[in-house]
Chain A
């Protein structure tokens, strides 16, 4: 680990700290500048490719993104000086790239501009990021609100049932022109609850219960909450016909449960339950059933003479990108039609940036997840560890579910590509996730300091 060249035991007693944990705020700043420049370059490139000139808003766009990123950086510099220097630049770059892609698609749909709204949501997201970094001085505070969190999460998930379905999924609350997806915020609340619950009941879950063949079964008392979560997931799936969120909640819980207990039996039980639930729902729920059919036969509608469906169009877009992509602004991913800017935003990246660009994006996500896991490894309190693993896993699972869906790897489920996709709720949620990860990583790296060092002031 960084800086642990000397023995912590000896350095703690010396008056001059021999262990120096670099803050790396300069690195962060340089990477943020790079991220902003890359985004502005992309923005200009789109304009040059489509209209032959630099978009008139390029300076304002660059300044706006730059100011937001700098404010976030300043907040981190003063309030979380030991935070992982990669988290914020990755978030800025993905957010900036998302704005570029949405702006690029806006040019194809002049009557329906999404980029300005997305920029407002970005501002709100960064604002919340700063608020969390500034006011959440210690992540352990969140444990106090565990039960409040789970109640709030349940309310948020249940609310959309009372609102009309949008394109087959009941996941929206729409008031006038303003719509939010409360399920997005529920993800963080559930992760906080899971982390608290599992940190508290770790030992009970691990060591009690009967042994059945090689599997150590948990007692009913600790099993009940888990069953409840499973039922919630299936409930979300059936009532809101939202396969993606259901899959995400369930996957998140399984991962956190495994990390907390280390019992393979949980994984086995989870997979059996998930498979059973998925099979039943896929068989009987028409919306989900059709998604599975589309996945198995993406070109069936073409053979039937109805033209290509969304998934087929998405696959065409990725294929058109090939290795190097067509270049920003030069693809035709708008043929996907509905949800090209949200669920299918990755297809635009795949077509215009190619396999190379797509790989870079996947690696950015992987790096974000890895930094979250790294923070989890470095922390000492079980809650913090589980929380950072949980939040990082949300990002990993979400990327997998939606990217796998639009590329035909798994059945397609409506879900937002973190930071890239159009959609305010998702964007704001992801900024909060990164804020908490920044806080946790600051704690993780800062705690390497010897006791009494000035940096450890809280």
Chain B
């Protein structure tokens, strides 16, 4: 019998080995795919088991966390949700994350390995660090000025520090409170449905995710191309331009908005001052498609990879057009389209002597107790134009504000350069036009321009002639610039 007992014990040993091998299969070899299974709620539960780190503006949190008492414990809250939603995005237990909440999720949720004092410590100890904080470049005063300026209108504002690329304001209206969709349950899903059904598209981040025809503000880019390619002999030399101007290869006649402006053979500086369509259409054609594309791309057009850290929509300047289309594109129409951020980059490049800095929103990330994890340094995006061209453009843009269409943006004690724009919209241009204004400002006692801003107002309810960007958009830009200049003083 002893022999058979030994054999039976061998059988038991086989059972043991089978269990151990199977345990290793489940717990080690297949663990990854089981952990990642969409039906496995563990990662979700753990993620919300601690307060989420905060997003900071001027060092103060604009977010919070509340203990919901539910299985998914901590819910995101927002101190001034509608104001900052284009920056923060949302962090929802139901709908995931967007914008900075998404881009810096690892830091905020505490899963970033850099948060742990010892490398791989969390993997070994199976612990989670408390959520870290994300400091943004946003200037609270500028953000509030932009939001207040837009009021109830549809529109967006993007403001940049030209010398660093720091985004000082990023506003989109109408907005929403991301806190409404932070949790789970019917209140959240109802709010989500309501926000998505709204014709106002409150969750659309118009400042970086919506492109508009830039209209006359694009003339700054065209002017840069003209000067870079020596198409004219200086900004004060008359250009050889008829008014009205017949688009090349067509019988279509292009006119100017203001009948009084003397656009025929106007100088480049005067053409920008009164926004002559004829001059810039003509000069754009003279520059040629290849060089217009090159210059616009130096400013950031046609780049779908601009990350601030969330990706901005691609601003467009067509690369394959006939001459009449090129003429229209050169005055910011046809298929030319730009995000407000893109146009703020145009103004920033001019203000910063031709060097375009990469725009960014996240200044630094820290652990929960404030120890720095990472800082973002300024990076050059591209040399958009030569410093001399930039100087000439600055002179032209200052001229626009002092004598031309942009007088509403004047600030005492500061040098302001700007450009208005009115973009036609809709089938046969029947829609309400978009009002644009791009500008930069430098306080008289400052060594360099401190702010570049782009404003777009969608439903500028005024008659066409008035809009031209100067009426509805310029005051908003001025308020934002003033806010930045004032906050720089103290």
Contact = CB atoms under 8 A, between A and B. Distances in A.
Interface in A311-336: 312, 315-316, 318-327, 330, 332, 335
Contact of A322 (B5, B12, B27, B41): B27
Contacts of B4: 258-262
Contact of A318 (B3, B12, B26, B126): B26
B11 A255 contact: yes
Interface stretch (B32-40, B206-214, B423-431): B32-40
Contacts of B42: 316, 320, 332, 335
Interface residues of B, number: 37
B126 A325 contact: yes
Given A319-B26, A350-B27, A382 B39 contact: no
Interface in A429-456: none
B12 A373 contact: yes
A321 B27 contact: yes
A366 B20 CA distance: 11
Given A322-B27, A332-B42, A355-B24, A409 B37 contact: no
Interface string B16-36: 101110111011101110110
B15 A332 contact: no
B103 interface: no
Contacts of A373: 5, 8-9, 12
A84 B219 CA distance: 95
Contacts of B38: 302
A7 to B, nearest CB: 20
Interface in A380-427: 382, 385, 389, 392-393, 396-397, 399-400, 403-404, 407-409
Contact of A400 (B9, B19, B126): B19
B45 interface: yes
B290 interface: no
B1 interface: yes
Interface in B387-411: none
A327 B5 contact: no
A335 B31 CA distance: 17
B1 A362 contact: no
Contacts of B20: 359, 362
A259 B8 contact: yes
A91 interface: no
B2 interface: yes
B26 A324 contact: no
Secondary structure at the B interface, as helix, strand, loop or mixed, is helix
Contacts of A404: 18-19, 22
A308 interface: yes
A377 interface: yes
A307 interface: yes
A318 B5 contact: no
Interface in B99-143: 124, 126
Contacts of A332: 41-42, 45
Interface string B30-67: 11101101111110010000000000000000000000
Interface in B278-327: none
Given A370-B9, A400-B15, A400-B18, A308 B26 contact: no
A299 interface: yes
A385 B1 CA distance: 9
A378 B119 CA distance: 54
Given A308-B40, A385-B1, A389-B8, A355 B23 contact: yes
Given A262-B4, A382-B1, A407-B22, A393 B12 contact: yes
B34 A260 contact: no
A354 interface: yes
A345 interface: no
A319 B5 contact: no
Contacts of B24: 355
Contacts of B8: 255, 258-259, 373, 389, 393
Contacts of B11: 255
A379 B219 CA distance: 103
A369 interface: yes
Contacts of B35: 316, 319-320
A350 B126 contact: no
A370 B30 CA distance: 31
A356 to B, nearest CB: 9
Contacts of B41: 332, 335
Contacts of B28: 322-323, 355
B16 to A, nearest CB: 5
**Among the interface residues A299, A326, A332, A354, which one has the most CB atoms of the partner chain B within 10 A?**
A332
A347 to B, nearest CB: 10
**Among the interface residues B5, B22, B31, which one has the most CB atoms of the partner chain A within 10 A?**
B5
B59 to A, nearest CB: 31
A322 B31 contact: yes
**Among the interface residues A260, A322, A408, which one has the most CB atoms of the partner chain B within 10 A?**
A322
A408 B26 contact: yes
A376 interface: yes
**Among the interface residues B8, B13, B41, which one has the most CB atoms of the partner chain A within 10 A?**
B8
Contacts of A324: 124, 126
Given A377-B2, A385-B1, A327 B39 contact: no
B442 to A, nearest CB: 56
A385 B12 contact: no
Interface in B130-183: none
Nearest to B27: A355
A223 B236 CA distance: 117
B237 to A, nearest CB: 71
Nearest to A359: B20
A397 B41 CA distance: 33
A320 B40 CA distance: 10
A105 interface: no
B268 to A, nearest CB: 64
A163 B24 CA distance: 40
Nearest to B14: A400
Nearest to A397: B15
B37 A316 contact: yes
Contact of A403 (B5, B19, B30, B126): B19
A130 B34 CA distance: 45
Contacts of B13: 366
A247 interface: no
B2 A315 contact: no
Contacts of B6: 377
Given A316-B34, A396-B12, A299 B39 contact: yes
A354 B23 CA distance: 10
A100 interface: no
Contacts of B34: 315-316, 318-320
A38 to B, nearest CB: 20
Contacts of A262: 1, 3-4
Contacts of B37: 299, 302, 308, 312, 316
Nearest to B46: A332
5 contacts: A262-B1, A302-B38, A319-B40, A327-B126, A332-B42
What 8 pairs across the A-B complex have the smallest Cβ distances?
A319-B34, A319-B31, A308-B39, A302-B39, A355-B27, A409-B22, A400-B15, A316-B40
Given A315-B30, A359-B23, 11 more contacts: A260-B4, A320-B34, A323-B28, A327-B126, A332-B42, A332-B45, A355-B24, A396-B15, A396-B16, A404-B19, A407-B19
